[in-house]
A and B are shown apart, each in its own frame.
Chain A
Amino acid sequence: AQSVTQPDIHITVSEGASLELRCNYSYGATPYLFWYVQSPGQGLQLLLKYFSGDTLVQGIKGFEAEFKRSQSSFNLRKPSVHWSDAAEYFCAVGLYNNNDMRFGAGTRLTVKP
């Protein structure tokens, strides 16, 4: 069955430090991959997506993600975290014909001053 795993429930980083959030997926066909961010009490905002082509994708707010087919991973990175990046981050796999989208359980990011 299709699934998305975010191994880290909660990550704490210092402001200015680099960040990597992990995402692994299990899906037989070519995946359509997304990262969303959710601030407290808000809906989900798209950070970036991978459909095909260059495996390193750039998103908003200085985020990037790299698709690695051999590792079934789509990890999210940011070179220098800002306090405003504190939020919950969700990785998702878009399934065939958009009939379903599977989300990971989320990773909550805390940023220390």
Chain B
Amino acid sequence: DAGITQSPRHKVTETGTPVTLRCHQTENHRYMYWYRQDPGHGLRLIHYSYGVKDTDKGEVSDGYSVSRSKTEDFLLTLESATSSQTSVYFCAISEPPLMTGGSETQYFGPGTRLLVL
């Protein structure tokens, strides 16, 4: 298994509170991603990072922010949690594509189950 840990693994919070999820990798991969998984939707990309301090939005970025101050850590923050953000959150890592326009395998962490009441 790729060396990816996520913390916390489970969290229950209340609507309107801030929440930060952490992804930590020991593989020194340059790219990192945050996804959410919901029934009937598969996984959807929230934000991704292609290097320290370099991040960009994914498909479902509203209500989320990210930060990456070190290669190994990628933080996902819900500034003011809402019930619609109840989900399972996965972090993934990959190397950059070998060629322009290419794609590389993403490796996933174990997930964080978040419940917003």
In contact, B103 and A94 (Cβ under 8 angstroms): yes
- Please give, as numbers and ranges, the residues of chain B lying within 8 Å of A106 by CB-CB distance: 42
| Binary A-proximity of B18-48 (CB < 8 A = 1, otherwise 0) | 0000000000000101000000111111001
With A97-B97, A98-B31, A100-B59 known as contacts, the answer to whether A32 contacts B43 (CB < 8 A) is: no
Number of A-B pairs, beta carbon distance below 8 Å: 68
List the A side residues contacting B104 at CB < 8 Å: 94, 98
Question: Is there contact, CB below 8 Å, between A43 and B110?
Answer: yes
Label chain B's interface by main secondary structure: loop
Q: Which residues of A contact B107 (CB under 8 A)?
A: 46
Is the C-beta of A51 less than 8 angstroms from some C-beta in chain B?
A: yes
Cβ-neighbour of B101 out of A36, A43, A96, A100 (below 8 A): A96
* Interface size bracket, A side: 20 to 34
Q: Which of B42, B45, B94 contacts A105 (CB 8 A)?
A: B42
Task: Determine whether the beta carbon of A49 is less than 8 Å from that of B105.
Answer: yes
Residue pair B110, A42 in contact (C-beta under 8 Å)? yes
- The answer on a CB contact under 8 Å between B45 and A97 is no
Task: List chain A residues, Cβ under 8 A from B56.
Answer: 99
